[in-house]
Structure 1
């Protein structure tokens, strides 16, 4: 017979505090009761409370300020994942990004066509407008600020994931965001090299890129999944110099 795993008092306290936070009983900025008050409320000693708070501090859920107390921190899943990604991400993982995007983002496109609200479409259009603005600035300067371009591009694709109304797909995209960022940096440098070798203008590259993004918006609005899928695959294929 399998034995039940005993949960430590520290983990039990952590769970109770997290429950208060997730239920919005304690919101961001809320000052958590003192160690003694928590010890009395949870029926444990102060050392257990202190260890639980230290664990939550490490996770970025709460923040202890010297002389002030402990406060609920505004938790950013994206920031947290971005920081820990650096610990396990390896160069060879970039080869997996293309497959990941084809599986996750194409499905998000299909779901977005079915489920996107007018507010979702508006946010997607705003993301496209920002992407277009960045590309126009690039064309005027006749050079590419890769980092700004990628941030605008990521926000555009993130809005598509949000429009799918599938919270796990959104979390998956956020978790893979840093890897996708590195992939996009690699693919854009690769494409620029191809363009330069062919004697083409970087401006042409930017115009094509903007056109593809615009077409994705329009095909989602027109509920044309097959056309949108075709455009999407061309954009995320490393071998395609758009």
Structure 2
């Protein structure tokens, strides 16, 4: 039996316009800083409404492909991995993505920990302990938003210790997703531990100390526990 014919909704029309323009931009038909045809011109060329064109342009802006300037028009943006991924991160930052973020974190942070043990200098690891101590001070102030940002910066610093610039680039690019994961970790911790900010920060300090002492097994275990919100005989994760 054939599928019933469904009406073409405005959203579907907008998606077709979006897909066409995206393909042309990526193919180089429109170059960086070039002004795209006006909404009216695009609407006539595609045979659609201006609102469908406007919606398509807004989607392209979310992807970091165009810059919409009020009163001037839409211009092609320079495409970089970082600005593209950061926009996508903000777009898809929702609870359904957390399991995938955690898988990514586990893969990268376990590798970063392993590489830091062999590549990071003693001074870098000493500075990392200072970063962990700053996280504890932030935790004691009890401001959740401030703590989430400090926690994110701690993990970004861990990636830096690997001396693999791509690890740091990926973490900088998924900032919004990462913050959401940390926030959900905190919710899980607070259900078990009323002082979860400080407890989580102390777990991070334990990781920094394990790295500084080149204790690979303890550092590996702590990294996995922090990412996966596991609690062992030391401190609860944050």
1:175-195 alpha-carbon deviations (Å, 9 max, x no partner)? 232212101101111211223
- Following superposition, the deviation at residue 96 of structure 1 comes to 1.6
Q: Which structure 1 segments of 5+ residues have no match? A: 1-6, 18-48, 52-57, 67-72, 139-144, 196-201
Aligned position for 1:218: 209
Q: 1:105–1:88: structure 2 CA closer, same or farther, 3 Å change rule?
A: same
Aligned position for 2:183: 185
* Alignment equivalent of 2:82, drawn from 67, 70, 77: 77
Query: Using the alignment, how far apart are the partners of 2:35 and 2:103 within structure 1?
Result: 44
Q: 1:86–1:112: structure 2 CA closer, same or farther, 3 Å change rule?
A: same
Query: Using the alignment, how far apart are the partners of 1:191 and 1:9 within structure 2?
Result: 51
- Equivalent pair of 2:93/2:177 in contact (CA under 8 Å): yes
Query: Using the alignment, how far apart are the partners of 2:28 and 2:186 within structure 1?
Result: 49
Q: 1:9–1:135: structure 2 CA closer, same or farther, 3 Å change rule?
A: closer
- Equivalent pair of 2:94/2:180 in contact (CA under 8 Å): no
Q: Which structure 2 segments of 5+ residues have no match? A: 1-26, 37-60, 72-77
Query: Using the alignment, how far apart are the partners of 2:184 and 2:103 within structure 1?
Result: 15
- Following superposition, the deviation at residue 207 of structure 1 comes to 4.1
* Alignment equivalent of 2:220, drawn from 212, 224, 229: 229
How many residues of Structure 1 are paired with residues of Structure 2 in the alignment?
Answer: 181
Query: Using the alignment, how far apart are the partners of 1:209 and 1:90 within structure 2?
Result: 23
Root-mean-square deviation over aligned CA pairs: 3.7
Q: Under a length normalisation based on structure 2, what TM-score does the superposition of the two structures give?
A: 0.61
Q: Under a length normalisation based on structure 1, what TM-score does the superposition of the two structures give?
A: 0.60
- Following superposition, the deviation at residue 50 of structure 1 comes to 5.5
Aligned position for 1:150: 148
What SS class does the counterpart of residue 165 from structure 1 fall into?
A: coil
Query: Using the alignment, how far apart are the partners of 1:77 and 1:177 within structure 2?
Result: 11
Q: Provide runs of 4+ in structure 1 moved above 4 Å.
A: 7-10, 58-62
Aligned position for 1:102: 106
